[in-house]
Amino acid sequence: MKDLAALKDYILQVYERHRTNHEGQVTTYIPELGKANPDHFGISVVTAQGQEFSVGDSQQEFTIQSICKPLAFLMALEQHGRETTIKHVGMEPSGEAFNSINLDRLNRPFNPMVNAGAISVAALIKGASPEAGVDAFLKRLSLAAGRDLRIDQAVCASEAATGFRNRAIAYLLRNFDMIDDQVDHTLHQYFSQCSVLVNSRDLAMIGATLANIGDNPETHAEVFDMNYIKDALSVMLTCGMYDYSGEWAYNVGLPAKSGVAGGILAVVNRQLSIAVYSPRLDDRGNSVRGIKVCTDLAEEYGLHAFNFTNFGSNFIQAL
C-alpha cells in the first residue's frame, strides 16, 4: 500500500517532469493577468485528514478566477435552498466556451461554472450592500483556506474596466428576470469573487474542505453545509474544465475547476484535494501543466471516480 512518503515522492517526480514544459500562453484578455510570471509552478495536496504537501511556487499568490464559482454556488444553495437556486441556474454542460452568451430553454444559464451561471449566482449572494456581499464571500473562503484572504484590487479593476462581455451577459440575464435590477452590484460581486488572491496551498485546503464534506480538516471550522457539497462536486465533474469537461471526466474522472489565472483545483471525494498553479493556458483556457499533473496523479493513484481497482478509495486510509 502506498503511503504519504511515496505520495510526496511521486508529486516531486511529477513536478520535475512538467516544469520544463513551456507550452501554452498566459492570458491577456484581462490585462492585469498578463503580468503573471509564466514560469511559476506550484503543486499542493491536502488530505481530508489535514496532511499536506507542497512543492515549487506554492506560496505564489494568483487570483482564484473561475475556481470561485463552485464556492459561490454552495453559498447560494445554503442561502436560498435548491429549489430557488436552480430557478436561476441549470446544471447542464453547455458544450460552449465559458463566456458564451447563451441560455437554456428556460432562459437560465446552463450551469454555475460558466460566466452566465456565475453571474446569476453572484446576484443571489450579493448581500444588502456591495461591501457586505464581498465581505461575506471573502470570509467564507478565508475560513476554508484557514487564513485571511484578500482581493487583488488591480485585477478587480482590470476586469471591471474590460468586462464588456460579462456586462452584456448580465443585462441578458436581467432581461429574462434571472437577476434583479442591481446589475452593477451583481457584477461588482462577481468581479470581486474572481479577484480573491490564493496560493496553491490555500486552494488545496479549500478543496480538502470540500473533500471533508464542508469542514476544514486542519482548523475543524464548519465552513460549508455538508448537504450541498455533492451539488458543487457534481457540476464540477460535469462542467468544471471549460469545453474540455467531457474529456476530463473521461480521462481524469474527478470533480475539478480551473481558472484563467492558471489555477486548477481537483477534489477526490472524502479523501484529498490537488491544487496546481501554472499560468500558461492551453487553447481552452486550462493550465497546461495543471492538466498534466492532475492526469498523472489520478492515473498513478487510481483516483478516477469510476476506477475499477477502487484503489483511490483505499489508499488514503493507509496514510
**In the bound complex, what is the minimum distance in angstroms from residue 84's beta carbon to ligand GLU?**
24
Q: Is 215 among the residues that bind ligand GLU (CB under 6 A)?
A: no
Q: Which listed residue (45, 89, 223, 260) is catalytic?
A: 260
Cell of 233: 462536486
- The b-or-e profile of 275-295 (16+ CB within 10 A means b, else e) is bbbbbbbbebbbbbbbbbbbb
Residue 161 vs residues 58, 124, 167: alpha-carbon distances, Å: 30, 23, 10
- In whole angstroms, what separates CA 302 from the centre of its chain? 22
274/148 Cα distance (integer angstroms): 21
Q: Which listed residue (45, 121, 158, 242) is catalytic?
A: 242
Q: Is 259 among the residues that bind ligand GLU (CB under 6 A)?
A: yes
Cell of 45: 495536496
β partners of residue 103: 109
Closer residue to ligand GLU, CB minimum distance, 115 or 271 = 115
**In the bound complex, what is the minimum distance in angstroms from residue 258's beta carbon to ligand GLU?**
7
Query: Where are the strands (E) in the chain, listed by range?
Result: 42-47, 52-56, 62-63, 197-198, 256-258, 263-268, 272-277
153/138 Cα distance (integer angstroms): 13
**In the bound complex, what is the minimum distance in angstroms from residue 266's beta carbon to ligand GLU?**
16
Which residues 12-31 are close enough to bind ligand GLU by CB under 6 A? none
| Binding residue (CB under 6 A) for ligand GLU from 239, 260, 265, 276 | 260
Question: Is the sign of the CA dihedral 157, 162, 164, 169 positive or negative?
Answer: negative
Q: Is 134 among the residues that bind ligand GLU (CB under 6 A)?
A: no
145/203 Cα distance (integer angstroms): 7
Contact criterion met (CB below 8 Å) for 12 and 53: no
Which residues 48-67 are close enough to bind ligand GLU by CB under 6 A? 65-66
Q: Is 243 among the residues that bind ligand GLU (CB under 6 A)?
A: no
Size of the site for ligand GLU (CB under 6 A): 10
| Binding residue (CB under 6 A) for ligand GLU from 144, 173, 194, 203 | 194
Q: Please indicate whether residue 260 is annotated as part of the active site.
A: yes
Q: Is 47 among the residues that bind ligand GLU (CB under 6 A)?
A: no
Q: Please indicate whether residue 171 is annotated as part of the active site.
A: no
Q: Please indicate whether residue 245 is annotated as part of the active site.
A: no
**In the bound complex, what is the minimum distance in angstroms from residue 152's beta carbon to ligand GLU?**
11
Q: Is 166 among the residues that bind ligand GLU (CB under 6 A)?
A: yes
Q: Which listed residue (54, 69, 126, 268) is catalytic?
A: 69
**In the bound complex, what is the minimum distance in angstroms from residue 204's beta carbon to ligand GLU?**
18
**256-258 β-sheet, strand order:** 52-56, 42-47, 272-277, 263-268, 256-258
Q: Is 199 among the residues that bind ligand GLU (CB under 6 A)?
A: no
Catalytic residues: 66, 69, 190, 242, 260
